[in-house]
Amino acid sequence: MHVNAYAAPAAGQPLAPTTIERRPVGANDVLIEIEYAGICHSDIHTVSGEWGPQPFPVVPGHEIVGLVTEVGAEVTGHRVGDRVGVGCMVNSCGECANCRAGDEQYCVQGMVPTYAGTDRDGSTTQGGYSTHVVVDAGYLLRVPAGIDPAAAAPLLCAGITTYSPLRRWGAGPGKRVAVVGLGGLGHMAVKLAHAMGAGVTVLSQSLKKQEDGLRLGADAYFATSNPEAFTELAGRFDLVLNTVSAAIDVDAYLSLLAVDGALVNVGAPAEPLSLDVMSLISGRRTYAGSMIGGIAETQEMLDFCAEHGIGAEVEIIPAAKVNEAYERVLASDVRYRFVIDASTLR
């Protein structure tokens, strides 16, 4: 099946319309007509080439929501007409200890990313900036009826990537959580941590988005451009979730943790970060990372969002505006996730 898509032809080149081939629907596959695809900063890191060589042309997009239009013979649990989601991963070995524990994203053979990955049949995966996608039903999520489909798309990456560490590090009543960076991931972290009952502080470069941050559920908001913020907040937090797409001063953020606190990086800048181990030792602190979440946990997150009336704040764009949207994301001018209306690709 040939379908319309937007692809990056080479590293650092603007995305352009193209057609790609989708595989025939296999016994365990589902064909999805894509409604919306979110734009994640990871798409930009990937196509810019800063995360290393890629199998160009690359069709990005791993925040996909759409409608099932065909199901394979062995598929149970998904029917034509169902609204479903696809996140960052479309396959894994299914047999290793991590897969069996529901941590498919840490599959020892490597999870298959939704785009720019090699699928288990040897083909190169292509993502959601497209009209249709064929996916193994084991990697599909049910999008609950209560969430607007455009607002649901970013949950498939930005939502789960923040939900998973918030849960693991115990965000809840009595916990003081700081979210660094109020972009796509950051704004989801604020909503989710607030819904979990934690006290939430936003640490943004400036106060430009303060009103939004408080409306999204933050209790406090500080500009990191003001060095006094670090003095005032020293030792304050149980969890600092860093969503920044660029390098940060790790020691400065570690100094904000209470004893036994954790700084968890979900932001994935291309350049290495360094730290002074005394920043950890002096407060029995942890510096950790976290990558998306497993399939069952992603479903749990979607159900949690439906229960709490949570969706992403989105700006819906036609596919032809994708390059402009990338520029705005790079300029931290996103409020708070661009979502491509895939009907503009038909």
The least distance separating Zn ion from the CB of residue 63, rounded to whole angstroms, comes to 6
Specify whether the CB–CB gap between 323 and 47 falls below 8 A. no
Please classify residue 27 by burial: count the beta carbons closer than 10 Å to its beta carbon, then call 0-12 exposed, 13-18 middle and 19+ buried.
exposed
Min dist. Cβ of residue 243 to ligand NAP (A): 5
Q: Which tokens sit at 34?
A: 């894509």
Binding site for ligand NAP (CB under 6 A): 40-42, 45, 157-158, 161, 181-186, 204-205, 209, 243-246, 266-269, 290-292, 329, 332, 334
Q: Which of 298, 322, 341 is nearest to 162 (CA)?
A: 298
Report yes or no: 228 and 256 within 8 Å, Cβ to Cβ: no
In sequence order, the 6+-apart residues with CB closer than 8 A to the CB of 106 are: 98, 291
Look at strands 141-142 and 83-86 and give their pairing: antiparallel
Question: Applying CB under 5 A, which part among 34-42, 131-139, 260-268, 296-304 lies near Zn ion?
Answer: 34-42
The residue number whose beta carbon is nearest to ligand NAP equals 183
Cβ proximity to Zn ion: between 99 and 157 the closer is 157
Please enumerate in sequence order all residues whose Cβ is within 8 A of that of 328, keeping only pairs 6 or more positions apart, or say none. Answer: 334, 338
Written as one letter, the residue type at 221 is: Y
From ligand NAP, Zn ion, none, interface partner of 310 (C-beta below 5 to 8 A by class) = none
259 C-beta neighbours (distance < 10 Å), count? 10
Exposed / middle / buried, residue 334 (Cβ in 10 Å: 0-12, 13-18, 19+) = buried
Q: Which does 194 bind (CB under 5 to 8 A by kind): Zn ion, ligand NAP, none?
A: none
1 or 247: whose CB is closer to ligand NAP? 247
CB of 55 to ligand NAP, least distance (A): 18
Least spacing, CB of residue 128 vs Zn ion, in Å: 11
Distance CA 138, CA 275 (A): 40
Rounded to the nearest whole angstrom, what is the least distance from the CB of residue 268 to ligand NAP in the complex?
A: 4
Cβ atoms 131, 260 nearer than 8 A: no
Name the minimum Å distance from CB 64 to Zn ion. 11
Write the DSSP string, 122-179.
SPBP--SSBSEEEEEGGG-EE--TTS-HHHHGGGGTHHHHHHHHHHHTT-STT-EEEE
The residue among 25 and 295 lying less far from Zn ion, judged by its C-beta, is 295
Instruction: Mark 258-297 with x for binding to Zn ion (rule: CB under 5 A) and - for no binding.
Output: ----------------------------------------
- Taking the least distance from each CB to Zn ion, the nearer of 42 and 130 is 42
Out of 31, 42, 139, 334, the only residue in the binding site for Zn ion (CB under 5 A) is 42
Q: Which does 255 bind (CB under 5 to 8 A by kind): Zn ion, ligand NAP, none?
A: none
* Token pair for 327: 């520029």
User: Taking CB within 5 to 8 Å according to partner kind, which of Zn ion, ligand NAP, none is near residue 114?
Assistant: none
Within 44-103, the residues that bind Zn ion by CB under 5 A are none
Residue 130 or 201 having the CB closest to Zn ion: 130
CB of 343 to ligand NAP, least distance (A): 23
Q: Does 157 bind Zn ion (CB under 5 A)?
A: yes
Of 183 and 199, which has the nearer Cβ to ligand NAP?
183
Residues of the shown chain interacting with Zn ion in the complex, contacts defined by CB under 5 A? 40, 42, 157
